[in-house]
Amino acid sequence: MNTRPKSVTIISWLLIIMASISIVSSALTYNNPDVVKLMELSAIPITMQYMIMAVGLLIMIISGIGMLYGKNYARILYVSWTPLAIVISLLTSPAITMMIPSIVFFLIIVFFLFRTESNIYFKKNNEVQISDS
């Protein structure tokens, strides 16, 4: 059995927990007049913003669970989606400076997801599944 690096475990659970909290907070603030006013400042229609958010949260949960099981597609999915979401936010958000923590957080995660021990973990787990099939 291939041992999961602690960094991958921490990142996976962070993604799952953060997405879960965001789902709850989004549900609680849905159609809140103050939130709607803030969302109206964006160039993207509110409905589209909710759709992008839902897809992003789903991707975070799928990525977190997949990385716990050593699925390489999970880290590739997260590392592919997140820059796209950041670029969309940078192009449309009225508060660009609020994106700085997200960018820093993403870069730290990428660093740990592609370290040598993480690469070995994801490679070995995917080789085992291919050879067992």
Report the distance separating Cα 22 and Cα 39, nearest Å: 16
The rounded distance, in Å, linking the Cα atoms of 75 and 112 is: 11
CA angle 93, 106, 54 (to 5 degrees): 55
| pLDDT of 128 strictly over 60 | no
Cα separations (Å) of 27 from 21, 36, 54, 57? 10, 13, 11, 13
Q: Structure pTM?
A: 0.82
Share of the chain above pLDDT 70, in %: 93
Radius of gyration of the chain (CA): 17
23, burial (CB in 10 Å: exposed 0-12, middle 13-18, buried 19+): middle
